[in-house]
Amino acid sequence: MSEQYRLSRPALLWQFIAIAVVVVPHLSHLPSWLLVLIVAAVGWRLMVHMGRWSFPHWSIRTLFSLAACAGVFLSYGGIGGVNGMVALLIAGFSLKSLEIHKRRDALLVVYVAFIVATSALLFDQSVWMAAYVLIAVQLTTAALLAIYQTHNVDMGRPFRTSAVMMMQAIPLMLVLFIVIPRMGPIWNLKMDVGSARTGLSDTMSPGEITNLTRSSEVAFRVRFEGKRPPQNALYWRALTYPDFDGRSWYRDEARERQPVPTESLMIQRPVLKYDLMLEATGSRYIPTLDMPLSAPVGVRLNPDMTLRLNLPLQKREEYSLESALQYRLTAQGEALNYVRELSLPIGNRRTRELARSWYAETGSGDAFIARLMAFYKSSFTYTLKPPKLGRDSIDKFMFETQRGFCGHFSSSMVFMLRSVGIPARVVAGYQGGEWNPYENYLVVRQYDAHAWVEAWLPQKGWIRIDPTAAVAPQRIERPSEELFSEEEDFLRDAPLGGLTIGRNSLLADLWLQWDAFSYGWQQWVVNYHSRQTDVLKRLLGEITPLRVALALLIPFAIVMCLVALKLFWRHWHLVRDRHDQALERLSQRLAHKSGLGRQPGETVKNYSDRVAEIRPDLALYMQEIAYCYEQMRYAGDDTGSSARRMLNMIRQCQTKV
């Protein structure tokens, strides 16, 4: 094989570094067998590099490839999703390392390494991942440069060169990021649904929301236009549960197809506008303030005034929403049309009888609701550790335990309302949030999960009723972390989560600052496409093809001019040295008279020795010139005597040529 096509030892080591660096971000979602395959392939190639093993036969490589394809297909149920495609790419990428022998093989590995490195951003678009991918690209570039280096170049040179190249490319990268228009992909990437994550579910048992108080994970963040609403108005509507089986509230998919009453929403101004950044919970709901006025593009507004996505949310997204805090939601027709909101299963006889007797005494829906709220306020206790409820759970809660969380209160109240013919449903979502003063937005965590009641009254339509506010009004008026901080079960699943909350904690303040930075990153980098038009208008005044072209060409021209100036400055600086100029003139004269010009890369000492050997009459002059030059350049002669003597010897030598 020609020497120019062989890989040097440093180049091969850089290949292994690039493979390891680009695969690391994918370790969390790759199957274990694929990790074993990657280690085995790289290990085999290392053994070949050490001379202990030979390259595998083509039949073995083919067998490994077929086994990898079958493993990906079985692990992901196909290769149509992003996870499956990335896993297949990494499998082939790792097996290709077994063939790294020539420059062509190494180039293919490096090119695929760039794709694998950037594919990590499909799964995580945080600041940390972006920084890691930037480092991975720089190291992969070093591996690319190392392919073309000679065998006597050290390991550090490709790294240093790639670092300089990256620094030079960053200004142009920023310009391209700001100016180049965003376009939607020509294909749709379906992100595979991973394991279940913390959040509200499509069913609710009275104690389930209590479990969310064990988690401090962020559910979403909200930035308001103008003044933010008061704490007791922050009801974030996510799901409604119209169906009840005696223990759990849920939505019966079969009954979703039945006709529902046409509802109309009448609002009172002003309308509240806000941007909601929702975390990747794997769910389909979008929490909104009661009541949402419309749905963003790609989102469905349900008849129950909840927003629902077509696919589970697998990455952080931001939505611009509008809501009315003062509204009237009613139906065009009779309340008896609400079949689902009136149905009850058999059981809980004592609660039914109590509800009917109270309704007979009060005589109206409003008075009956007031009686219920007074009963909750006087007889019940709010706690994160409610006792277990067995059969006829509503009866047991109402007449025996009388201790519970928001799910218990809302469940029992809806049951009693339906028992007397008042349509009602459980609404689940979040209440409240923590204000971040560094970027002026609201942080809503999973422990802010809440459930309340919606009831339909003929003269008012659907109204919100929160029995928890009667039992524990501090839950609505104060942030959750203040209320729950002394509860034993609070943040039980996240023991370190308590360090990032609180009013007087240094770590909590640092977390708020970091969260503000991450929020800005998501808004201005990840979601820059939604703000690009406004940014370009502020920068360019008017977006036209000519101005966009100038915005691209001018920074590019500036960078190129700086690079050219640096090169010319170095050349000009070298040429301007009068001692080197004098030596160059002597070389040109000798070349013209005797053919003894100085060769490229030839030192002054070697040149003087060569001239002295061919022209003995110039030997003393040339030896003195070389001695003075070395004293001036390397011995630190600060007096200038060596420089003056060198110029004098050059003049005398020129007269003898």
CB-CB contact of 86 with 119 (8 Å): yes
Q: Given 243, 466, 628, 653, which residue is catalytic? A: 466
Q: Given 304, 450, 628, 653, which residue is catalytic? A: 450
Helix (H) or strand (E) holding 235: strand 235-241
Q: Specify the length of the chain in residues.
A: 657
CB-CB contact of 431 with 235 (8 Å): yes
CA angle 61/66/68 to nearest 5° reads 95
CA distance 491 to 511: 17
450 belongs to the catalytic site: yes
CA distance 401 to 381: 9
CA distance 452 to 450: 7
Handedness of CA 245, 409, 444, 275 (dihedral sign): positive
CB-CB contact of 583 with 653 (8 Å): no
Collect all residues with Cβ–Cβ distance below 8 Å to 615 and sequence separation of at least 6: 594, 596
CA distance 462 to 338: 12
Q: Given 243, 290, 304, 406, which residue is catalytic? A: 406
CB-CB contact of 346 with 395 (8 Å): no
CA distance 517 to 524: 10
Collect all residues with Cβ–Cβ distance below 8 Å to 245 and sequence separation of at least 6: 345
CA distance 188 to 343: 42
CA distance 531 to 539: 12
243 belongs to the catalytic site: no
Where do the DSSP E strands lie in 380-423? 381-382, 403-404
29 belongs to the catalytic site: no
Question: Token pair of 620, please?
Answer: 């003393």
List the catalytic residues: 406, 450, 466
